[in-house]
């Protein structure tokens, strides 16, 4: 008689402490935990809002109204890992406390809201050997993993250009960057960091190295008091004469367009999501303010140019004034080109060489990636291939309740992909290495700060010299003389 195979004992769920039960801590990461009780469970939550705290902690997790109190008891609580999803300004202090406790962590992006804070955090990592995974979720979305697989296989040859367009969406920009939490550089961080550090991380990931130079232009063009319609009051609910014509009229968005949405972003209004409750929130809270009479200062459009040692150049365009809230991608290489649209998941690859091939085996191993069409195009009949990369539909409590997710999860499945990878790494003891390391995120954050410094008037930034100080090596940073030659006789900063 053949003996039955011996199965390895099931691993217990990863025990997580969550600092911050807002949009990211609860609606993104917390939702994944609720949908995967066999993989993870929450043992402690900290948040100053009693309703958010109760909703995420449930009946079993320990509750704290101050993250520092929870951090002080990590030794007693003994979680396997910590999720830091606090407001940006608290990230470094909280990450330092978790690092000193010796626990791995998932730190929501941006890791730090200022260059000096990032430098402090890098020093903490060097001092403690902290195991930090930063929330660059798009690396884990099926769309971007498919793009990376094509590039890494060499199907496009040597890369010449990368173009990423971050279409923020006029309604989303007004919500988050004019009325919302990321409207102020001082209170959160510059738009290029708060919104496009995802894109800079992807460019860095695809390029395979840090850039040589960074240059950026942009401004706060539109959401300014001088652009307010005549007679516009401080709040949309105070009888605005331009209500019928204004694209940013708050009741049209929160009461009409999102009337059936009970997740993000309407949860930012408060606990009462009835029509009356929403209207009351607009009358007294930040999301009912006229977009021309807010205390915002972050850029509403910005373009960044990066030059890499290989000769590759990359551009990142971010704009509030778009009809879509998604990303477009175009890559050209010496043997092919790639175009992609993140929302639809469609990726078209043109291969110039008659012997050009897609990495079929590697693509076939990626969940959610499918080859839907192949053909020929152009005067030489070069090969074309169309892929579709989409995440699996969400399941579990709260699935499909957010605006714009189509039931497929936040960030095109990246939120779920990161949580899956993080929990696996906690079990395997590999947080702090590979894609889940602080080092993978450091370059993209530094690229964002360099872009903002350039936009503020510094011109072309010599990235290697400029960023050295934050890496803990000799270098030049803001406030120092970063001028150097760029190889063409021009001076760069």
pLDDT mean values, one per 10 residues, the chain (493 residues): 54 95 89 94 96 91 97 97 95 98 96 93 94 94 96 97 98 97 90 94 95 98 98 97 97 96 89 95 97 97 98 98 96 98 96 95 92 96 96 59 53 91 96 88 94 95 86 49 34 36
Q: Which two tokens stand for residue 81?
A: 């890992």
Q: Which two tokens stand for residue 4?
A: 């039955």
Which segments of 296-378 does DSSP mark as H helices, in order? 360-364
Residue 346 confidence (pLDDT) = 97
The whole-angstrom separation of Cα 276 and Cα 271 is 12
Residue 487 confidence (pLDDT) = 33
Q: Is the pTM of this model over 0.75?
A: yes
Residue 224, helix vs strand vs coil? coil
The whole-angstrom separation of Cα 255 and Cα 277 is 10
The whole-angstrom separation of Cα 60 and Cα 462 is 52
Least Cα distance to 444 among 264, 226, 230, 193 occurs for: 193
Q: Which two tokens stand for residue 413?
A: 């499945």
Least Cα distance to 101 among 131, 122, 123, 126 occurs for: 131
Do residues 479 and 471 touch, judged by C-beta distance below 8 A?
Answer: no
Residue 151 confidence (pLDDT) = 97
Q: Are strands 105-107 and 132-134 parallel, antiparallel or unpaired?
A: parallel
Q: Which two tokens stand for residue 425?
A: 């790494």
The whole-angstrom separation of Cα 426 and Cα 405 is 27
Residue 412 confidence (pLDDT) = 81
Residue 186 confidence (pLDDT) = 86
Residue 439 confidence (pLDDT) = 85
Residue 287, helix vs strand vs coil? helix
Residue 472 confidence (pLDDT) = 64
Residue 440 confidence (pLDDT) = 82
The whole-angstrom separation of Cα 458 and Cα 378 is 43
Residue 402 confidence (pLDDT) = 52
């Amino acid at each position: 008689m053949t003996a039955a195979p011996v199965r390895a004992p099931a691993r217990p769920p990863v025990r997580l402490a969550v600092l911050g039960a807002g949009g990211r801590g609860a609606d993104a990461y917390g939702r994944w935990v609720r949908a995967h009780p066999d993989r993870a469970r929450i043992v402690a939550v900290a948040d100053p809002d009693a309703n958010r705290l109760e909703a995420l902690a449930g009946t079993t997790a320990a509750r704290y109204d101050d993250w520092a109190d929870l951090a002080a008891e990590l030794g007693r609580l003994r979680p396997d890992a910590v999720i830091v999803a606090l407001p940006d300004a608290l990230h470094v202090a909280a990450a330092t406390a978790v690092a000193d406790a010796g626990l791995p962590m998932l730190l929501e992006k941006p890791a730090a809201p200022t260059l000096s804070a990032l430098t402090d955090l890098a020093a903490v990592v060097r001092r403690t050997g902290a195991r930090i995974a930063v929330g660059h979720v798009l690396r884990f979305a099926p769309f971007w993993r498919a793009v990376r697989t094509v590039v890494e296989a060499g199907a496009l040859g040597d890369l010449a250009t990368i173009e990423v367009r971050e279409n923020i969406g006029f309604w989303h920009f007004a919500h988050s960057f004019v009325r919302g939490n990321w409207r102020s550089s001082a209170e959160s961080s510059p738009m290029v960091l708060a919104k496009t550090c995802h894109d800079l991380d992807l460019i860095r990931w695809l390029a395979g190295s840090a850039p040589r130079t960074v240059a950026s232009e942009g401004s706060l063009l539109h959401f300014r008091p001088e652009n307010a319609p005549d007679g516009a009051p401080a709040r949309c609910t105070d009888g605005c004469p331009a209500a019928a014509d204004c694209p940013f009229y708050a009741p049209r968005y929160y009461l009409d367009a999102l009337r059936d949405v009970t997740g993000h972003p309407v949860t930012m209004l408060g606990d009462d999501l009835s029509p009356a409750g929403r209207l009351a929130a607009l009358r007294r809270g930040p999301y009912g303010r006229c977009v021309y009479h807010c205390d915002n200062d972050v850029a509403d459009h910005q373009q960044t140019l990066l030059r890499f040692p290989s000769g590759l150049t990359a551009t990142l365009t971010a704009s509030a004034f778009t009809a879509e809230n998604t990303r477009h991608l175009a890559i050209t290489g010496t043997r092919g080109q790639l175009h992609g649209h993140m929302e639809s998941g469609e990726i078209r690859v043109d291969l110039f060489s008659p012997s050009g091939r897609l990495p079929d085996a590697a693509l076939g191993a990626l969940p959610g990636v499918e080859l839907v069409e192949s053909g020929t195009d152009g005067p030489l009949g070069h090969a074309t291939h169309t892929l579709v990369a989409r995440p699996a539909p969400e399941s579990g409590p709260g699935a499909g309740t957010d605006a714009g997710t189509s039931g497929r999860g936040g960030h095109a499945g990246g939120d779920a992909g990161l949580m899956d990878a993080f929990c696996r790494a906690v079990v395997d003891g590999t947080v702090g290495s590979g894609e889940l390391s602080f080092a993978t995120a450091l370059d993209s954050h530094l690229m964002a700060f360099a872009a903002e410094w350039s936009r503020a008037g510094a011109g072309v930034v010599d990235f290697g010299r400029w960023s050295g100080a934050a890496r803990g090596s000799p270098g030049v940073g803001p406030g120092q003389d970063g001028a150097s030659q760029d190889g063409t006789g021009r001076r760069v900063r």
